[in-house]
């Protein structure tokens, strides 16, 4: 398990999510996707055992980057404009994973569900006692969020991979922001913006009945 990568610290990644909101409280696509890219860098630090997760995240990031460099890029400047555009153009298949390329709405929904896992996991790390196990906290966060959307084989693989996670304090040190106490303080400051991004996306998807896109 490597320690740090390119001097990157988790605080910088979480701050990217803070910069997602525009004046209308809409979520800007570029920092949202950049936030996920930063998280994948941290995932890679944790070892190749998580490559099945990072491959999926990278594929989804790539789909969104492709939309952002297509002729329709302006339609994808915020999550709100994407929803409006894809629904109006009939690009979202609400019944089955389509033959057509995955829509932006479907792709963001997968990342959005994973953001809930992240929030719960980081909240668990922040509020747990020093001798807690990151593996147990991660399992708890996964079971309360992503697990219900994953088939058995992915659940099984995910739960097994969590066993390699280090002790809570080691994990906090890997965030590269200083001592475990510094990391806890950083999380306390940064988590509200993750929650805000999650809540706004959830409300947007609920308003348009998009929370179950297959
Ligand atoms: C702490 C490390 C644990 C990372 C585990 C994250 C949750 C497990 C997710 C398992 C996903 C399995 C791969 C495939 C899933 C897809 O089937 C699923 C649905 O997509 P689709 O197209 O088949 O309908 N995809 C998803 O659910 C999206 C999953 C994206 C997960 C992105 C996770 C990025 C993780 C970042 C780690 C941040 C660590 C922060 C702290 C680090 C401090 C050193």
ipTM score assigned to the predicted complex:
0.98
Burial level of 191, CB count in 10 A (0-12/13-18/19+)?
A: middle
109-138, pLDDT tens digit by residue?
A: 999 999 999 999 999 999 999 999 999 999
pLDDT tops 80 at residue 8 = no
Residue 7, pLDDT score: 61
> What topology does CATH give the domain 10-207?
Glycolipid transfer protein, GLTP (1.10.3520)
Mutation pick for ligand 1 pocket among 56, 145, 148 (CB with most ligand atoms within 8 Å): 56
Specify the residue for token string 């020093």. 130
* Residue-range domain boundaries for the chain: 10-207
With contact defined as beta carbons under 8 Å apart, do 38 and 56 qualify? no
pLDDT score of 108: 98
**Structure token digits, residue 68:** 């952002």
Give the atom of ligand 1 at the shortest distance from the alpha carbon of 42.
42
- Report pLDDT for 98: 65
pLDDT tens figures, 16-56:
999 999 999 999 999 999 999 999 999 999 999 999 999 99
42 lines ligand 1 (CB under 6 A): yes
């Amino acid at each position: 398990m490597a320690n740090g990568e390119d001097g990157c610290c988790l605080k910088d990644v979480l701050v990217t999510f803070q910069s997602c909101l525009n004046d209308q409280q809409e979520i800007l696509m570029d920092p949202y996707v950049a936030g996920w890219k930063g998280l994948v860098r941290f995932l890679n630090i944790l070892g190749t055992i998580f490559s099945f997760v990072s491959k999926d995240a990278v594929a989804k990031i790539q789909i969104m980057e492709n939309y952002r460099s297509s002729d329709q890029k302006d339609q994808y400047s915020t999550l709100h404009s994407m929803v409006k555009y894809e629904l109006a153009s009939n690009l979202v298949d609400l019944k089955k994973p389509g033959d057509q390329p995955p829509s932006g709405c479907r792709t963001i929904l997968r990342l959005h569900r994973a953001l809930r896992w992240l929030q719960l996991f980081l909240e668990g790390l922040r509020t747990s006692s020093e001798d807690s196990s990151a593996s147990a906290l991660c399992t708890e966060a996964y079971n309360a969020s992503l697990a219900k959307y994953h088939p058995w084989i992915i659940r099984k693989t995910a739960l097994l991979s969590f066993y390699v996670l280090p002790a809570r304090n080691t994990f906090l040190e890997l965030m590269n922001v200083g001592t475990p106490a510094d990391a806890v303080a950083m999380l306390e400051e940064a988590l509200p913006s993750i929650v805000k991004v999650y809540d706004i996306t959830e409300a947007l998807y609920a308003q348009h009945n998009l929370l179950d896109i297959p």
